[in-house]
C-alpha cells in the first residue's frame, strides 16, 4: 500500500519504537543538532517572524490560484520541449512513468531523493518491471542497501541509524572494510554511486519547487547527486506533488531560504539546481527527453477544506525535528512515509482515517511544531480538527471515551453537579489511598498511575476556603453563607 | 480593581494552596477579589479530544459565570488560553460569540496580570531554595507569556534560579494524552524529570496545575526528593520556608 510503512497496528509500532534504544539515541542527537542549527539560522536572519509571514502569504496565494499556476507551469514546460503529465492517483503516476521507461527499453534507473515517489511506491513498481533502481541520496542509498528499510524522516531518511549501524550495513551488503568515520563511509558510497550515475539510462528526481513563470524545477541538495541524476541519463523524469509550485523566481528565493534554514540550519545548501526542460542544442549536457509528472493523489481533495494549509508544507521537517513524541517513538511508528506532526496531519488526509485514526492523538498538543513551521501551518490545531472529525463526523471514538465525555459534558455544564462531584472526590478516592498518595488508581485513572502518583484531592476545596476564609481577621460573609 | 478568580478544576481540588496564594497576592496589590461560584471546568479535556459539541455547555457556563467580572485571573496558562478558544467554538451562535470575545479580552494568566496590568515585577517575596522553572507549553506558545514568570522569580530574594535544560520540551502531560498514550507520555515525563535532576534544584516551580501534577506525580513515583510548587506560592512567600 502506498504511504504505509511497517506493521499494521499503531500500538505495536510504538512499542517497537520505544524499545529501540539505538534508534532513540540516534534520533535524540540528530534532533538536538538540527534544532540548534535551525534556531541559529533563524536568528541570523534577524526578522524571522516576518519571513514566516511572507512564506505563509506566498503559499496561501499559490494555493488559492493553484489551477492558474499549474496551467502556466505546464505550458512553459511544453514550450521548452518537455512532456507534462497530470496524475490523479498513485497508480496513474506509476503507470505513466513505467510506460516511459518501457518505451526506452531502459533497465538502469538512477534516482535522487523524492518523497512523492516514496508516497506512490514507485520503486516497487519499477522493480517488478525488472528495472534496477538505484537511490543516489546517501540516506536513501543506505536504506535501499539495507533491504529497503523505509525512511523515518522526510529530509534525513536514515536518521534512525547511527554511523556504526551504517558501517555494518555497508560491510554486510557491500563488503566495506573501513571504519565508521563519516568521511570514509561517504567516500565509499561515492565510489559505488559514480558507476551507477554513468550507466543509468533514465534519471528520476523529485522537485522541491517548480517555478510556474519559466517551467523550471528546482532541486535543493547537499550532495550534488540530483545534479548528476539530471545531467547524465538521456531521459529525465521529474515527479512533483501538485502543490510544490511557486509563481516566480522571486518567491522561489524566499521559500528556498526558508527551506534550507528551517530544515538543516543552512543559509543555502551546497547545491540548488534549476532545470528547465530537456537540453537545448546549444547546451553541452542534460537530458534529451524530459517528463514532468504532477501528482495529485488526494491533494486536490484538501483544497477548499479547513485543512488547505497542510498543502503549504515545504517538507523542511522542522516540525519533526522539534517533536518530543517523534523523538521517543521514531519515524517508523507513524506507519507512514510522512512522520511527525506534519505526517500526523497529512497522512489521514491522503489515506483516510481508517488506517491512521491514532495519528492525530500521537501528540501532547504542545505546539512546538506550529511555533517552528516556516510557513505557519497550524499543525497542532489541525490535529484537534482531525480528532473532531474522528469523533463527530466519523463516529470512530471508542465507547469508554464517549461515555467519559458524556459525563464530562454533564458535569462541566452544570455548576450544581460539578460542585457535588468535586466535594465527593476526596471520599470517592479514599479506598485507593495508601500512605497519603494514590499509587494504583481505579478505572480511567489506571493509565495515569501506571507511571505516576496521583495527588490527593484536598478535603477543603479552594471554593470552600474562599467562602469561609477570614481576611485581615474578619470573616467575610458571602452570598448564601 | 475588581478581579474574579478562575481557579480551574485542578486548582479547586488539588492545588488549593496555589489558589490561596493567588488571592493573597492580588489582595496585597489592592485588588478586590471574588470567586464566582458557578464556575466549573473550562472544557479543555473535551475540546482537545475533539468533542466540540460537548464542550459548548462548559463554555457557556463559564461565560455566564464571569459575565459581570471586570478582570478574570487564572493561575494556569493552559486553562486561561482555553477561554480564547470559545469565540471560535461558538462562532455559529452570534450572541454567545460576542460574550466569548468579551471574556477573552478580560482574562489573564496570573503572572501576565501581575506584570501587564498591575505593572509589578517584584512581589517582595522571599523564598530560600535552589529552584528551576518549567515553562509550560500552552502558556508560552499559545498564550505568549514567556518572560513574566521568569522576571518575577528573578526578584524573589533568597531564591537561586537554575536554567532547566531543554526547557522548551513538553513534559508529556497533554491532558487526555497522558492517559490515552501513557507509554509515550511516560517517556516524555521521564526525560523532563532527568533534566530537572541535572539542575540539582530542590524545588521545581511551574505555573500550570496539569504539568505540575504530571511532573510531580512522576518524581514522587521515582521517590525523588524534589519539591514541586506553583509559582503563586513562591511569589507569595515571606521567607518562612
Residue A84 burial (CB count, 10 A):
17
Q: Within 10 Å of residue A452's Cβ, how many Cβ atoms?
A: 28
- A474 pLDDT exceeds 80? no
Q: Is residue A215 part of a domain?
A: yes
Q: Report whether A144 contacts A126 (CB < 8 A).
A: no
Q: CA quadruple A151, A154, A156, A162: dihedral positive or negative?
A: negative
Provide the 3-class DSSP secondary structure of residue B167.
Answer: coil
Residue A477 in this model has a pLDDT that exceeds 50: no
**Beta-bridge partners for B33:** B3
Question: Is residue A119 located within the same domain as residue A259?
Answer: yes
- Shared domain for A435 and A295, answered yes or no, is no
Domain count, chain A: 2
The answer to whether the complex's ipTM is over 0.85 is yes
Which of A274, A302, A330 delimits the end of a domain?
A: A302
The single-letter DSSP state of residue B52 is: -
Cβ pair B54:A451 closer than 8 A? no
- B48–A447 C-beta distance less than 8 A: no
In the CATH scheme, what is the code of domain B121-235? 3.40.50
Give the CATH number of the domain where residue A100 resides.
3.40.50.10420
At A207 the pLDDT is 98
Residue A378 lies in a domain: no
Measured in whole angstroms, how far is the alpha carbon of residue A279 from the centre of its chain? 34
pLDDT-based confidence at residue B224 (cuts at 50, 70, 90): very high
Residue A420 and residue A288 share a domain = no
A85 occurs within a structural domain: yes
The three state secondary structure string of chain A is CCCECCCCCHHHHHHHHHCCHHHHHHHHHHHHHHHHHHHHHHHHHCCHHHHHHHHHHHHHHHHHCHHHHHHHHHHHHHHCCCEEEEECCHHHHHHHHHHHHHHCCCCEEEECCCHHHHHCCHHHHHHHCCCEEEECCHHHHHHHHCCCCCCCCCCCCCCCCCHHHHHHHHHHHHCCCCCCCHHHHHHHHHHHHHHHHHHCCEEEECCCEEECCCCEEEEEECCCHHHHHCCCCCEEEEEEECCCEECCHHHHHHHHHHHHHHHHCCCCCCEEEEECCCCCCCCCCCCCEEEEEEECCCHHHHCCCCCHHHHHCCCCCHHHHHCHHHHHHCHHHHCECCCHHHHHHHHHHHHCCCCCCCHHHCCCCCCHHHHHCCCCCCHHHHHHHHHHHHHHHCCCCCHHHHHHHHHHHHHHCCHHHHHHHHHHHHHHHHHHEECCEECCCCHHHHHHHCCCCECCCCCCCHHHHHHHCEECCEECCCCCC
Q: Under an 8 A CB cutoff, do B57 and A412 touch?
A: yes
CB contact under 8 A, B184 and A329: yes
Task: Identify the closest residue of chain B to A456 by CA–CA distance.
Answer: B14
> How far apart are the C-alpha atoms of B210 and B9, rounded to whole Å?
10
Query: With an 8 Å Cβ cutoff, are B170 and A366 in contact?
Result: yes
Per-residue model confidence as pLDDT tens digits over A419-436: 999 999 998 888 899 888
User: How many angstroms away from the CA of A453 is the closest CA of chain B?
Assistant: 4
Q: Which of A408, A422, A445 sits opposite B12 (nearest CB)?
A: A422
Q: Report the residue from B20, B138, B213 with minimal CB separation from A455.
A: B213
pLDDT at A471: 63
**Which helix (H) or strand (E) covers residue B136, if one does?**
none
What is the Cα A212 distance to its own chain's centre?
Answer: 25
Q: Which of A302, A335, A362 delimits the end of a domain?
A: A302
Task: Spell out the residues 6+ positions from residue A65 whose beta carbon is closer than 8 angstroms to its own.
Answer: A247
Closest Cβ opposite residue A392 in set B53, B138, B142: B53
What confidence score (pLDDT) does residue A480 get? 36
Measure in Å the smallest separation between the Cα of A454 and chain B Cα atoms. Answer: 6
How distant is the Cα of A338 from the closest Cα of chain B, in angstroms? 19
Residues A450 and B182: beta-carbon distance below 8 Å = yes
With bands split at pLDDT 50, 70 and 90, how would you rate the model's confidence at B61? very high
> Are the C-beta atoms of residues A332 and A150 closer than 8 Å to each other?
yes
What gap in Å lies between CA A258 and CA B86, rounded to an integer?
33
Best of B51, B146, B195 to mutate (most A CBs within 10 Å, chain A): B51
Say which of A384, A439, A458 has its CB closest to residue B13: A458
Task: Determine, yes or no, domain membership for A324.
Answer: no
Which H helix or E strand runs over B76?
none
- Mean pLDDT in residue range A227-239: 95
Find the residue in A nearest to B46 (Cα): A405
How far apart are the CA of A84 and the nearest CA of chain B, in angstroms? 42
Q: Judge: B12–A462 Cβ closer than 8 Å, yes or no.
A: yes
Within-domain flag for A243: yes
- Could you tell me how far CA B84 lies from the centroid of its own chain? 15
By CA distance, what is B17's nearest residue in A? A462
pLDDT per position as a tens digit, B128-156: 999 999 999 999 999 999 999 999 999 99
Rounded Cα distance, A154 and A341, in Å:
12
Q: What is the mean pLDDT of chain A?
A: 94
- Secondary element (H or E) of residue B46: helix B44-48
CA distances from A9 to A14, A348, B185 (A): 9, 15, 19
Whether B188 sits inside 8 A of A328 (CB atoms) is yes
Q: Report if residue A206 sits inside a domain.
A: yes
**pLDDT exceeds cutoff 70 at A476:** no
Q: Report how far apart, in Å, the C-alpha atoms of A47 and of each of A6, A316, A377 are.
A: 41, 19, 19
**Shortest Cα distance from B121 to chain A (angstroms)?**
25
At residue A1, the pLDDT reads 57
Structure confidence by residue, pLDDT tens digits, A347-379: 999 999 999 999 999 999 999 999 999 999 999
Least confident of A139-143, A476-480, B76-80: A476-480
Yes or no, beta carbons of B57 and A15 under 8 Å apart: no
- Report chain B's mean pLDDT, rounded to a whole number: 97
Count of H-run helices and E-run strands, chain B: 14, 8
Give the closest-approach CA distance of A134 to chain B in angstroms.
Answer: 36
A139 and A149 in contact (C-beta within 8 Å)?
A: no
User: Closest to A388 (Cβ–Cβ): which among B27, B50, B173?
Assistant: B50
Where a domain ends, among A262, A280, A302? A302
At B42 the pLDDT is 97
B184 with A447: Cβ contact below 8 A: no
Task: Give per-residue pLDDT as tens, A277-321.
Answer: 999 989 888 999 999 999 999 999 999 999 999 999 999 999 999
Domain-wise residue ranges, chain B: 2-116, 121-235
Residue A444, pLDDT score: 77
Taking an 8 Å cut-off on Cβ atoms, the answer to whether B65 and A367 are in contact is: no
Are A298 and A403 in the same domain? no
How many angstroms separate the Cα of B86 from the Cα of each of B66, B93, B102, B175? 13, 11, 10, 18
Q: Kindly list the residues from chain B whose CB atom is less than 8 angstroms away from the CB atom of residue A418.
A: 40-41
The reported pTM is: 0.95
- Domain carrying residue A292: 10-302
Residues of A in contact with B39 (CB under 8 A): 415
CA of B175: which chain A residue's CA is closest? A364
Nearest to B72 by CA among B115, B116, B113, B107: B107
Average pLDDT over residues A135-144: 96
Residues of A in contact with B141 (CB under 8 A): 366-368, 370-371
Residues A406 and A267 in one domain: no
In this predicted structure, the answer to whether residue A475 has a pLDDT above a threshold of 80 is no
Residue B205: predicted pLDDT = 98
Tens of pLDDT, residue by residue over B166-187, are 999 999 999 999 999 999 999 9
Give A455's contacts in chain B (Cβ within 8 Å): 14, 213, 216-217
A241 lies in some domain: yes
Q: Which residue of A has its CA nearest to B14?
A: A457
Q: Which of B43, B48, B187 sits opposite A365 (nearest CB)?
A: B48
Cβ contact (<8 Å) for B40 and A386?
A: no
Contact B48 A387 (CB under 8 A): yes
B-chain residues within 8 Å CB-CB of A389? 50
User: Which member of B141, B142, B178 has the closest CB to residue A448?
Assistant: B178
Helix, strand and coil in chain B, % to nearest 5: 50, 15, 35
CA distances from A478 to A421, A467, A469 (A): 22, 6, 10
Confidence of residue A124 (pLDDT cuts 50, 70, 90): very high
- Say how many CB pairs under 8 Å bridge A and B: 197
* Subunit contact A413:B142, Cβ cutoff 8 A: no
Predicted local confidence at residue A284, as pLDDT: 85
Amino acid at each position: 500500500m502506498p504511504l504505509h510503512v511497517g506493521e499494521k497496528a499503531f500500538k505495536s509500532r510504538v512499542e517497537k519504537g520505544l524499545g529501540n534504544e539505538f534508534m532513540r539515541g540516534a534520533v535524540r542527537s540528530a534532533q538536538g543538532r538540527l534544532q540548534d542549527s535551525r534556531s541559529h539560522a533563524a536568528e541570523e536572519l534577524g526578522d524571522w517572524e516576518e519571513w514566516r509571514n511572507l512564506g505563509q502569504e506566498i503559499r496561501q496565494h499559490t494555493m488559492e490560484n493553484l489551477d492558474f499556476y499549474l496551467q502556466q507551469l505546464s505550458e512553459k514546460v511544453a514550450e521548452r520541449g518537455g512532456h507534462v503529465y497530470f496524475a490523479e492517483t498513485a497508480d496513474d503516476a506509476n503507470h505513466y512513468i513505467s510506460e516511459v521507461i518501457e518505451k526506452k527499453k531502459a533497465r538502469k534507473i538512477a534516482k535522487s531523493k523524492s518523497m512523492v515517489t516514496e508516497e506512490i511506491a514507485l520503486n516497487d513498481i519499477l522493480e517488478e518491471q525488472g528495472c534496477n533502481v538505484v537511490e543516489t541520496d546517501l540516506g536513501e542509498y543506505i536504506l535501499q542497501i539495507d533491504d529497503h528499510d523505509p525512511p523515518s524522516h522526510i529530509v534525513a531518511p536514515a536518521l534512525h541509524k547511527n554511523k556504526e549501524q551504517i558501517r555494518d550495513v555497508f560491510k554486510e551488503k557491500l563488503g566495506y572494510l573501513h571504519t565508521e568515520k563519516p568521511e570514509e563511509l561517504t567516500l565509499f558510497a561515492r565510489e559505488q554511486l559514480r558507476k551507477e550515475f554513468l550507466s543509468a539510462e533514465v534519471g528520476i528526481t523529485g522537485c522541491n519547487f517548480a517555478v510556474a513563470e519559466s517551467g523550471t524545477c528546482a532541486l535543493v541538495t547537499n550532495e550534488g547527486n540530483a545534479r548528476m541524476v539530471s545531467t547524465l541519463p538521456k531521459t529525465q523524469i521529474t515527479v512533483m506533488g501538485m502543490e510544490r509550485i511557486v509563481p516566480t523566481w522571486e518567491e522561489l528565493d524566499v521559500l528556498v531560504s526558508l527551506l534550507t534554514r528551517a530544515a538543516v540550519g543552512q543559509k543555502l545548501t551546497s547545491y540548488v539546481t534549476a532545470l528547465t526542460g530537456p537540453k537545448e542544442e546549444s547546451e553541452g549536457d542534460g537530458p534529451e527527453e524530459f517528463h514532468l509528472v504532477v501528482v495529485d493523489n488526494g491533494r486536490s481533495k484538501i483544497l477548499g477544506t479547513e485543512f488547505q494549509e497542510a498543502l503549504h508544507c515545504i517538507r523542511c521537517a522542522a516540525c519533526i525535528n522539534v517533536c518530543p513524541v517523534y523523538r521517543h517513538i521514531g519515524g517508523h511508528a507513524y506507519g507512514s512515509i510522512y512522520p511527525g506532526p506534519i505526517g500526523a496531519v497529512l497522512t489521514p488526509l491522503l489515506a483516510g482515517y481508517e488506517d491512521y485514526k491514532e495519528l492525530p492523538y500521537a501528540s501532547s498538543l504542545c505546539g512546538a511544531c506550529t511555533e517552528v513551521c516556516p510557513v505557519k501551518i497550524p499543525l497542532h490545531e489541525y490535529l484537534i480538527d482531525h480528532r473532531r472529525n474522528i469523533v463527530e463526523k466519523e463516529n470512530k471514538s471508542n465507547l469508554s471515551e464517549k461515555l467519559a465525555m458524556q459525563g464530562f459534558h454533564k458535569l462541566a455544564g452544570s455548576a450544581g453537579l460539578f460542585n457535588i462531584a468535586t466535594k465527593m472526590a476526596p471520599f470517592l478516592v479514599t479506598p485507593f489511598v495508601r500512605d497519603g498518595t494514590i499509587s494504583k488508581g481505579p478505572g480511567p485513572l489506571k493509565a495515569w498511575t501506571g507511571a505516576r502518583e496521583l495527588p490527593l484531592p484536598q478535603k477543603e476545596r479552594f471554593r470552600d476556603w474562599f467562602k469561609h476564609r477570614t481576611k485581615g481577621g474578619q470573616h467575610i460573609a458571602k452570598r448564601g453563607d | 480593581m475588581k478581579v474574579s478568580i478562575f481557579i480551574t478544576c485542578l486548582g479547586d481540588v488539588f492545588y488549593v494552596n496555589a489558589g490561596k496564594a493567588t488571592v493573597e497576592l492580588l489582595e496585597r496589590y489592592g485588588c478586590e477579589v471574588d470567586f464566582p461560584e458557578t464556575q466549573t471546568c473550562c472544557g479543555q479535556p473535551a475540546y482537545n479530544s475533539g468533542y466540540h459539541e460537548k464542550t459548548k455547555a462548559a463554555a457557556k457556563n463559564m461565560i455566564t459565570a464571569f459575565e459581570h467580572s471586570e478582570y478574570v485571573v487564572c493561575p494556569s496558562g493552559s486553562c486561561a488560553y482555553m477561554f480564547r478558544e470559545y469565540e471560535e467554538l461558538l462562532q455559529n451562535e452570534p450572541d454567545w460569540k460576542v460574550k466569548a470575545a468579551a471574556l477573552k479580552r478580560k482574562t489573564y494568566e496570573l503572572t501576565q496580570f501581575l506584570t501587564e496590568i498591575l505593572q509589578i515585577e517584584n512581589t517582595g517575596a522571599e523564598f530560600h531554595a535552589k529552584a528551576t522553572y518549567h515553562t509550560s507549553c500552552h502558556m508560552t506558545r499559545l498564550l505568549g507569556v514567556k518572560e513574566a514568570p521568569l522576571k518575577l522569580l528573578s526578584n524573589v530574594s533568597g531564591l537561586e534560579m537554575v536554567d532547566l535544560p531543554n526547557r522548551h520540551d513538553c513534559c508529556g502531560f497533554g491532558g487526555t494524552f497522558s492517559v490515552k498514550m501513557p507509554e509515550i507520555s511516560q517517556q516524555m515525563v521521564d526525560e523532563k524529570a532527568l533534566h530537572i535532576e541535572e539542575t540539582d534544584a530542590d524545588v521545581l516551580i511551574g505555573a500550570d496545575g496539569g504539568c505540575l501534577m504530571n511532573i510531580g506525580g512522576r518524581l514522587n513515583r521515582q521517590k525523588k526528593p524534589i519539591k514541586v510548587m506553583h509559582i503563586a506560592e513562591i511569589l507569595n512567600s515571606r521567607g518562612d520556608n
